[in-house]
Amino acid sequence: MSDYHIKNLEDYSKNYKSSVNNPEKFWAEIAKNNFVWKREWNSVLNWDFNKPEIKWFEGAILNITENCIDRHLDKHANKTAIVFEPNDENEKEKKISYKELYIRVNKMSNVLKSKGVKKGDRVCIYLPMIPELAISVLACARIGAIHSVVFAGFSSTALATRIIDCDCRLVITSDGSFRGNKILDLKAIVDKALDNCPQVSKVLLVNRTKNKISLKKDRDELLAPLLQEAKEECVAEPMQSEDPLFILYTSGSTGKPKGMVHSTAGYMVGAAYTFKNIFQYGDEDIYWCTADIGWVTGHSYIVYGPLLNAATTVMFEGVPSYPDFGRFWKIVEKYRVNQFYTAPTAIRALAKESLDFVNKYNLSSLKVLGSVGEPINEEAWNWYNNHIGKNKCPIVDTWWQTETGSIMISSIPNVIKGKATFATLPFIGIQPVLMDNNGKEILENSVEGRLCVKFPWPSIARTIWGDHQRYKDTYFSTFENHYFTGDGSYRDDQGYYRITGRVDDVIIVSGHNLGTAPIEDAINEHNEVAESAIVGVPHEVKGNSLFGYINLKSKIDPTKQNQLRNEINGLISNQIGPIAKLDQIEFVPGLPKTRSGKIMRRILRKIAHNEVDNLGDVSTLLNPEIVNQIINQIIK
Ligand code: PRX
């Protein structure tokens, strides 16, 4: 492996220039010198944003797990690949070396093969944050199966939708999941989901919580005995560079989630190169990302990015508040963590607690702090900087998306200085632009616009599973010949980007991307509900909370309203998961609509934000009178 480590600003500028002036040459060199290929590519990049079609390293053959594991065995066989920190701090941690990881992934691969899984098949993984999750992901990749990890906080309905969408035949899950002092019965959730998924013929189960489960004959099998019997060698499947590596669902502007499809080679190059440089990972470092592997952050920066760089990556099963609010910092001290990557919502929640929870622990090992998933406000940034980083750790505020596969805009420790609330500059190879409302690129600085990218990068998602037209409509149709991110951004006089938030129907709550449409669909299933509209309102800890305007079919007795609110939130929990519950529910006599019947969310948003002075002209609405009625009801 060559040294693809960016060392200083000059190095960054030089590399950035080459990546833009001659992207093919630049990425070919990175790819050639830092990965193992079974065969090299015929062409580096073929693309057309109008189709859209994006292909990197076409003709190449590789297996990403050989890059994540096998090639490290010479030098790093005994190095710890994964440190597993259990939910219960009294349970002993587990350290899995690269050699052990190799064996465990191979065994899991052989089990999957023995159950008939073949190259190209989709496998659904619904597991807590235990080593078997990372191992299952890698086992799929080893045999060329496409993994679809579903976050184990999603409900049975949400799980079923995802299983059906990509036609998974096999599900890997566990008896349960520990979260703080609770046990979630994952098996029951899977059973319920599978009532609607007759095509699933096999469920493999990890024993984690040891709570009682029943096994469905012929369908359910415990993994432990199968793994014990399985062989320790499994030849890695030769994969084409553009073969799908995984599908990961993200919310969109309709009720149906979008299964973003990531490729093998491009994704690998993007995840590895960004990990190394944005965290400035050094060979002996201990790196910890607190995300769940159920989200893209976990895919790219717990599993693939770190392992591709032979790093030691910490996997934490629990929650930041258990057994108390010092847990994160206790873990940092315990393993002498060097790079720590988390979400603003966690920072804000912890900043509300006593500093004693922080000051009890020795955090001197920390070198780099990271933030991801939503804009980080100045107060949270300062708290992170002062109390966790002790003013000596650079903070990387990393902007990216499920769709982008890897980090797109970020500072780089000791290379590009961070600036509170700014993601700062584009990473190497990334060409962001701001567009105005007329679809014209804004060239000057100190402006706000819609954030787009004008040139492909290796880890961009290639399509939406089963719906290429939707991929085109969502990302490549708003602005001609550009990838549209759905975010707004400000660019300051130095060219630094500050992400201002979503400009579409997605609301980010506690770092989770939630579409308003699926939540409204869930609410509208209630017998009493005629229609509904969801908007986001700023929230101290969660970033945004959900505010629902609900128009009922008929008036209800005020004493029954709370009961109805609970029923509505219950429906949302069932259909999506508890993360999508509404914080505030207002029963309103109607929703403001345009003459063509479109709900005017902009107005509803302003009312929820208490900004009723500049609602604009409402006289052209179909039902202008409703606006004042809602204002009078809500703003007392
Ligand atoms: O709005 C942006 C926000 O999260 C969205 C992507 O969400 P998701 O696909 O779930 O991926 C999250 C983890 C990469 C973006 O469109 N977002 C992500 N990172 C930042 C951010 N907003 C501001 N600053 C960030 N650093």
Q: Does ligand 1 come within 6 angstroms of the Cβ of 486?
A: yes
Give the model's pLDDT for residue 517: 87
Calculate what percentage of the chain has a pLDDT beyond 90.
Answer: 91
Which CATH number is associated with domain 94-237? 3.40.50.980
Per-residue model confidence as pLDDT tens digits over 517-544: 889 989 999 999 999 999 999 999 999 9
Residue 373 beta carbon below 6 angstroms from any ligand 1 atom: yes
Could you read off the pLDDT of 465-480 as tens digits, one per residue?
999 999 999 999 999 9
Report whether pLDDT(125) > 80: yes
- Residue 245: the pLDDT is 98
CA distances, 242 to each of 61, 247, 251, 326, 381 (Å): 9, 13, 24, 44, 39
Give 585-636 pLDDT, tens digit per residue.
999 999 998 877 788 888 999 999 999 888 888 887 889 999 999 999 988 6
pLDDT for res 3: 72
Q: By percentage, how much of the chain surpasses pLDDT 70?
A: 100
Q: Is 300 in the pocket of ligand 1 (CB under 6 A)?
A: no
Average of per-residue pLDDT values in the chain? 96
Residue 1's pLDDT band (cuts 50, 70, 90): low
| Nearest ligand 1 atom to alpha carbon 400 | 14
> Which pLDDT score, from 0 to 100, does residue 163 have?
98
Residue nearest to atom 2 of ligand 1 (CA): 374
Chain mean position to CA 229: 35
> So what's the pLDDT on residue 636?
67
Residue 76 CA to residue 18 CA, distance in Å, equals: 32
Task: Tell me the pLDDT band of 2, cut-offs 50, 70 and 90.
Answer: low
**Tens of pLDDT, residues 171-198:** 999 999 999 999 999 999 999 999 999 9
- Using CA positions, which residue lies closest to atom 5 of ligand 1? 401
Closest CA to 166 of 90, 74, 258, 293: 258
- Whether 580 is in the pocket of ligand 1, judged by its Cβ within 6 Å, is no
Whether the predicted pLDDT of 446 surpasses 70: yes
Domain boundaries, the chain: 94-237, 510-634
Separation of 200 CA from ligand 1 center, angstroms?
33
What are the φ/ψ torsions at residue 467 (nearest 5 degrees)?
A: -155, 70
pLDDT of residue 4: 86
CATH of region 510-634: 3.30.300.30
Predicted confidence band of residue 504 (pLDDT cuts 50, 70, 90):
confident
pLDDT tops 70 at residue 491: yes
Which stretch of DSSP H or E encloses residue 182?
Answer: strand 182-184
Evaluate if residue 433 carries a pLDDT over 80: yes
Note the pLDDT tens digit of each residue in 383-413: 999 999 999 999 999 999 999 999 999 999 9
- The first and second tokens of residue 21, run together, are 């002036």
pLDDT of 363 reads 98
Could you tell me the pTM of the whole model? 0.93
Cα separation values, 191 from 195, 210, 348, 484, 518, Å: 6, 17, 36, 38, 22
Segment 269-295 shows an average pLDDT of: 97
In what side-by-side order are the strands of the sheet with 529-539? 529-539, 543-552, 584-587
Residue 506 Cα: closest atom of ligand 1: 1
Q: Whose CA is nearest to atom 12 of ligand 1?
A: 373
The predicted-structure confidence for 33-66, as pLDDT tens digits, reads as follows 999 999 999 999 999 999 999 999 999 999 999 9
Question: What is the reported pLDDT for 276?
Answer: 97
Asked if residue 237 has pLDDT above 60, the reply is: yes
Average pLDDT over residues 219-238: 98
